[in-house]
Every structure is written in C-alpha cells, then in structure tokens.
C-alpha cells in the first residue's frame, strides 16, 4: 500500500511539474509562502485592496506582531501549512531543478525566498541556482562583443577556528 502511494505521489508530481513553467512555479511557491506568512484571513477594504495595502499595489513582506481592530487587539498567527502543501512545495523544489534553465534571476529569487519562508531547504537547488548565475557585459567600443562569466559561490574558507571565537 505504501509503494502504491509513493508511486502515485511521484506520478502526480511529474504531471504537476509538466504543467508548470518557471514563472508558474515561482508564483505558486510565493502564494503558498504568503498564505503561510499571513494566513487566509486577509481583510479587504471597499476598494478591493488589502487593509495593509496603500492602494497602489505595494506589498508588505513582513507582518507586524499584532493587528489592531476597532475595539480589540488580536494576535496575528502564522497559518500552518498542511502536510499536503509541504509535500507540494518540496516537490516543486525538485521540479525547479529540472527547469532551472528556464528561470530568470527574479523568478529564481522569488522561488528561493518562498521556499525559505516555509522552511524547505533543498541544498541541490541552492547549489545549482548559484552556479547558474551568469553575468553578461556588452562593450560598445568592441562592437557589442559579449563577455560572459559564470559566478560560482565562493567556497567556505577553513581557518581552523572550530569554535568561531577568532582563535585557532
């Protein structure tokens, strides 16, 4: 029974990934992270904007600890993600590895931030995303020749200081 559920989960993850492009993955991960951060109880004012929105589309990334209502103060608690949502987010991190070449820098930043917000860390995704970073420079005086350099993350230097106090 457990093997059938794991094959079902892997096949549904495969079909789920085939339907989504890089932008879809980033936006879906962002929406789930926002749900986790704010909960599903956003209030809207008469103009269709969130009460926390200034009406010009600005988004707030952080939530204040308390929200004051007219007569009482209510604690704003993070919405807990269901196990299904956590599995979906984890699957999305592996799908993102397969579709890494389709992400632009903004989409990848948004995706990685969302994963971090919900507590999912995929070292393989982070490593591959960092090694993918590409810098292109156009030089007009060389007739728009392009110079590209891959930026790899710096390796952690081992200074022999195991306890972090600055002494070896």
Tens-digit pLDDT profile for residues 65-96: 334 444 444 454 556 678 888 888 889 999 99
Q: For residue 77, what is the DSSP state?
A: P
Q: For residue 158, what is the DSSP state?
A: -
pLDDT at 33: 87
* Residue 12 parent element (H or E): helix 2-19
User: Higher-confidence residue: 29 or 134?
Assistant: 29
Q: Could you tell me if residue 161 is inside a domain?
A: no
pLDDT at 38: 76
pLDDT band per the 50, 70, 90 thresholds, residue 168:
low
Q: Could you tell me if residue 166 is inside a domain?
A: no
CA 6, 7, 11, 17 dihedral sign is: positive
Q: Is 43 helix (H, G, I), strand (E, B) or coil?
A: coil
Q: Could you tell me if residue 156 is inside a domain?
A: no
pLDDT band per the 50, 70, 90 thresholds, residue 154:
very low
Q: Could you tell me if residue 91 is inside a domain?
A: yes
Distance CA 12, CA 21 (A): 16
pLDDT at 131: 81
Q: Is 72 helix (H, G, I), strand (E, B) or coil?
A: coil
The mean pLDDT of 53-73, rounded to a whole number, is: 40
pLDDT band per the 50, 70, 90 thresholds, residue 59:
very low
Q: Could you tell me if residue 105 is inside a domain?
A: yes
Structural domain span for residue 87: 2-132
pLDDT at 26: 92
pLDDT at 34: 87
Q: Could you tell me if residue 97 is inside a domain?
A: yes
Domain count, the chain: 1
Is residue 32 within 8 Å of 89, Cβ to Cβ? Answer: yes
Q: Could you tell me if residue 141 is inside a domain?
A: no
Is residue 88 within 8 Å of 7, Cβ to Cβ? Answer: no
pLDDT tens digits along 101-144: 899 888 998 999 999 988 898 999 988 888 876 556 666 666 65
Query: Which of 76, 90, 92 shows the shortest CA–CA distance to 121?
Result: 90
Q: Could you tell me if residue 168 is inside a domain?
A: no
The mean pLDDT of 31-40, rounded to a whole number, is: 79
Distance CA 7, CA 125 (A): 23
**Mean per-residue pLDDT of the chain:** 66
Is residue 134 within 8 Å of 140, Cβ to Cβ? Answer: no
Distance CA 24, CA 126 (A): 19
Question: What's the residue count for the chain?
Answer: 168
């Amino acid at each position: 029974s457990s093997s059938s559920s794991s094959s079902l989960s892997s096949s549904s993850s495969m079909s789920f990934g085939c339907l989504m492009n890089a932008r879809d993955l980033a936006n879906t991960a962002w929406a789930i992270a926002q749900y986790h951060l704010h909960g599903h109880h956003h209030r809207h004012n008469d103009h269709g904007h969130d009460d926390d929105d200034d009406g010009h589309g600005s988004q707030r990334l952080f939530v204040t600890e308390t929200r004051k209502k007219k007569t009482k103060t209510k604690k704003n608690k993070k919405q807990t993600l269901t196990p299904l949502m956590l599995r979906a987010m984890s699957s999305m991190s592996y799908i993102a590895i397969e579709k890494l070449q389709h992400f632009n820098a903004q989409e990848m930043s948004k995706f990685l931030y969302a994963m971090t917000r919900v507590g999912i860390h995929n070292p393989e995704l982070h490593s591959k995303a960092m090694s993918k970073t590409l810098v292109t420079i156009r030089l007009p005086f060389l007739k728009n020749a392009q110079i590209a350099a891959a930026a790899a993350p710096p390796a952690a230097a081992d200074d022999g200081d195991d306890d972090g106090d600055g002494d070896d």
